[in-house]
Amino acid sequence: MHFLLTVLRRRPSQAALLGAALLLQCLLVFRAFGLLLTEPGQHLLVSGFDGMKNYFTFQAYVQQPAAYGMRWFGMMNYPFGDYIFYTDNTPLLAWLVRLWSRYVSDVSPWGIDIYHVLLLAGMLLSTGLLVAILRRILHYWGLIVVFSVVLPWLNPQLGRLLMGHFNLSYSWVILLAIWGLMRLYDRAEAGQPIGRLVAGLTTAFTLISFVHLYYLPQLALLTAAFFALWLLPNGRWRQQPLLLMSTVLTLAPMLLSVGFVRLVDAYYSLRLTTPTGFNTPAWKLQALALIQPYAYQTTHFIFEPTKPVSEESQAYLGAFALFGLVVALIGWVFRRALVRQWWRSWGQLPQQRLLLLLGVASLAGFFASVGTVYEVEDGQFTWHNYLSVFFYLHKITGAAAHFRTVARFCWPFFWMVNLLVVAGLDYWLRIGRWTARWVVVVALVLLALIDMRDTIKHYRHSILPNPLTNVQAQPELAPLLASLRPHDYQAILPVPFYHVGSEDMDLTLDDDNRHSLHSYQLALRTNLPLMATKLSRTPPVHAKLLRSVFDSAGPAPELRRQLVANGKPVLVLYDQSYYDGTDSLAARQTNPYARQLVEAGASFPTNQHLTLLAQSGKLHLYRWDVR
């Protein structure tokens, strides 16, 4: 044991630690997602819902006609289109891939494969950041390597890959903020200049907002809470340079990104100011989610809820962290004096204060994640959450409701709980005298490894066939495209129609997976835009105008003028199965306006005198000469 202790205490160089951790992580990523890399174009992570749409918007943006430019997404919501900020396709990365494809080498046929590489590279970036963070707070290099590899597999953001929320899976975003705040703290406490570091972090945070907008308030809340805890109690806020730098890092990314969007977005005044759905229970963190393992995990905590939490609420802390906290509690109960002594000695270390500052700062996100109103005991009691920043922001501006899925704000809390437990165990190994502590720590590490093994196994068996861009998986489209000349048409109108993303529930008509997939496939094969929409925060007026296509009098005059001015007919993709009793899409609609819109599609070919071009089973392709 003494030999093992001596070996583990030797600290390899940062390059050696980083190289070892990245090598291990590469092997594990390949184990879980290897099919995405070795069989390009054949597999996807998600085959429906938001995931399929996000795949489509990424691929469609990369391959859309050059005339659309770089800031514009013209492949949905035709003829209005929309800006790339509202596609939910990781705009910053999509923009870079399109830029490369247009000016360096055309990679548009492999858009989705590149997207997969970028997603998986995020795992490696998280590992690299964890090495830098853990080197700052841990003594034993073995723990650094193990947890820089393991934790990216356990964090709740990874689950977004199979939910289809791909751009929310980047755990490196939160880790970058934690690493940046640690560096900032170290330099300021050492009396070193921090201007360049703040400028770099401000730039990074601003760019990250164009990966997904939710990262912007997450990082702002974490940094604001950290600076408040650091600077207010000891009067450091009176130091003007430090106060200025903290203000810049907290507010500048939000002002810069929002200002840029408003400057570019000509539709901004048309968008819904206050979206509906704020405080929806399924979008708030259910506290029991912290102790509820994911369905694929074999290790269970001492107790857990029997009712599954909502998809958005998944935030399991992991067996390692939970049982580590149990060990700490047992020590506090049975060896209280020793634990107090340990705590006091740990408190003398600079990294302990820094970790506690970050840990308490992460509580700001945790309290925001449970919503402003929280029901207890199945609604028998209501807790008004005055600790949530949204309790106050929502009273000041209705725009705060744009971040209505507040459960996502708990992600920094996951990281800080796990980092604190790892740091505590590392310190216990250093100063403890109880030989069996090594057995306890090894057992806890094994729990983390088992959770990681279960996760890798789950993802390895979750890879799906690719029906979106793999032509061999689209036999029903072949008869429709056999004699079609896409350049003779201006757009594709799917019937039944769908329009998602205006944030006005009365104007929302959710798509049916099978039908929207057919429309995506046809759009990518022809490079024609869809008149249907599945974006985010599109102007409600666009939804109203597009819905008018199915009015008895036909399209609204404004829309009709635009369609006629193009001079080309519209392709209509009509699925008869929704109107012959095969599929009950209309009956499934709870919104009467949505049901009317679906039902109106039945007579659309007759009312608008469409010309049948081709048929494949229940799929019909019509020509619509708009007059």
Task: Check whether residue 343 and residue 427 sit in a common domain.
Answer: yes
Check residue 280 and give its pLDDT: 87
Task: Check whether residue 428 and residue 485 sit in a common domain.
Answer: no
Q: Which tens digits make up the pLDDT trace of 573-584?
A: 999 999 999 999
Position 170 in a domain: no
- Average confidence score pLDDT of the chain: 93
Place of tokens 């703040």: 198
Task: Check whether residue 487 and residue 402 sit in a common domain.
Answer: no
> Could you give the number of structural domains in the chain?
2
| CB-CB contact of 147 with 141 (8 Å) | no
* Structure-block tokens of residue 535: 């974006």
Task: Check whether residue 421 and residue 488 sit in a common domain.
Answer: no
- Secondary structure of residue 587 in the 3-state scheme: coil
Task: Check whether residue 277 and residue 359 sit in a common domain.
Answer: yes
Q: Is the peptide bond before 79 cis (omega within 30 degrees of 0)?
A: yes
Task: Check whether residue 388 and residue 502 sit in a common domain.
Answer: no
Classify residue 609 by burial, with Cβ atoms within 10 Å: 0-12, 13-18, 19+. exposed
Task: Check whether residue 493 and residue 389 sit in a common domain.
Answer: no
Q: pLDDT-based confidence at 2, cuts 50/70/90?
A: low
Check residue 503 and give its pLDDT: 86
Whose CA is closest to 119, among 465, 471, 365, 459?
Answer: 459
Position 428 in a domain: yes
H-run or E-run covering 619: strand 619-624
Task: Check whether residue 392 and residue 493 sit in a common domain.
Answer: no
Nearest-angstrom CA–CA distance, 93 and 546: 30
Percent of the chain at pLDDT exceeding 70: 98
Higher-scoring residue by pLDDT: 560, 9: 560
DSSP per residue over 122-159, as a string?
A: HHHHHHHHHHHHHHHH-S-HHHHHHHHHHHHHHSGGGG
Q: pLDDT-based confidence at 383, cuts 50/70/90?
A: confident
Check residue 345 and give its pLDDT: 79
Q: Which tens digits make up the pLDDT trace of 114-134?
A: 999 999 999 999 999 999 999
Check residue 14 and give its pLDDT: 87
Measured CA angle at 364 (ends 181, 328), to 5 deg: 85
Position 28 in a domain: no
Classify residue 333 by burial, with Cβ atoms within 10 Å: 0-12, 13-18, 19+. exposed
> What amino acid occupies position 579?
Y
Position 154 in a domain: no
Percent of the chain at pLDDT exceeding 90: 82
Q: pLDDT-based confidence at 373, cuts 50/70/90?
A: confident
Provide the 10 A C-beta neighbour count for residue 539. Answer: 21
Task: Check whether residue 353 and residue 501 sit in a common domain.
Answer: no
Nearest-angstrom CA–CA distance, 325 and 616: 60
Classify residue 66 by burial, with Cβ atoms within 10 Å: 0-12, 13-18, 19+. exposed
Neighbouring residues of 472: CB distance < 8 A, sequence distance ≥ 6: none
Check residue 4 and give its pLDDT: 52
Check residue 277 and give its pLDDT: 80
Q: Which tens digits make up the pLDDT trace of 318-349?
A: 999 999 999 989 988 888 887 788 777 777 77
With a cut of 60, say whether residue 601 has pLDDT above it.
yes
Task: Check whether residue 280 and residue 403 sit in a common domain.
Answer: yes
Fill in the DSSP letter of residue 407: G
CA atoms within 13 A on the CB side of 148: 32
With a cut of 60, say whether residue 8 has pLDDT above it.
no
Check residue 424 and give its pLDDT: 92
Q: What's the whole-number mean pLDDT along residues 428-437?
A: 88
With a cut of 90, say whether residue 205 has pLDDT above it.
yes
Q: Is the peptide bond before 494 cis (omega within 30 degrees of 0)?
A: no
Q: What's the whole-number mean pLDDT along residues 518-547?
A: 97
Check residue 374 and give its pLDDT: 77
Q: pLDDT-based confidence at 470, cuts 50/70/90?
A: very high
Q: Which domain holds residue 524?
A: 474-624
Position 484 in a domain: yes
Q: Kindly report which listed range (25-29, 136-140, 519-523) carries the lowest average pLDDT score.
A: 136-140
Task: Check whether residue 399 and residue 537 sit in a common domain.
Answer: no
Task: Check whether residue 415 and residue 487 sit in a common domain.
Answer: no
Q: Which tens digits make up the pLDDT trace of 274-291?
A: 877 888 889 999 989 999
